[in-house]
Amino acid sequence: MNNAIKALALAVSAISLVGCKNVAPDVDQAAVIVNPDAASRAALQATVNSVLHTEVALADDALTATSILNIERKIPQSIEGSPAQGRNMEMPIQFHLVANGSECILIDQRDLSRTVLADTICSVE
């Protein structure tokens, strides 16, 4: 009886390991933007601006080398225009780009809200 339980446990373990190697097409996978053009950059810019309710500056190659996009807060400045004294302890806002099927989805890591990026082609990282 004890050998039967061991054999069953071994079979379940083997099946579990085989299942982990296959990724279903409807599962989020870290992704990067491929062949970025004006339309895809505009879609990313509009999405980030909309989520943050403000205008942000993004590099033209944002999300083309890595699936993570960090947005840091602007450092407060004094009246003279120099950086204000003290430390900025705020964490940057982080977005994660994933591919899910044929869609490129930008995930806001603060609340895990998801936005499909229009006019954007992405590839699994």
Cα–Cα distances in Å, from 99 out to 4, 5, 115, 117, 125?
A: 42, 40, 12, 10, 9
Domain residue ranges in the chain: 23-124
pLDDT tens for 13-31 read 444 433 333 444 578 999 9
45 pLDDT above the threshold of 90: yes
Q: How many CA atoms lie within 13 A of 90 on its CB side?
A: 11
What's this model's pTM, rounded to 2 decimal places?
0.72
Output the average pLDDT for the chain. Answer: 82
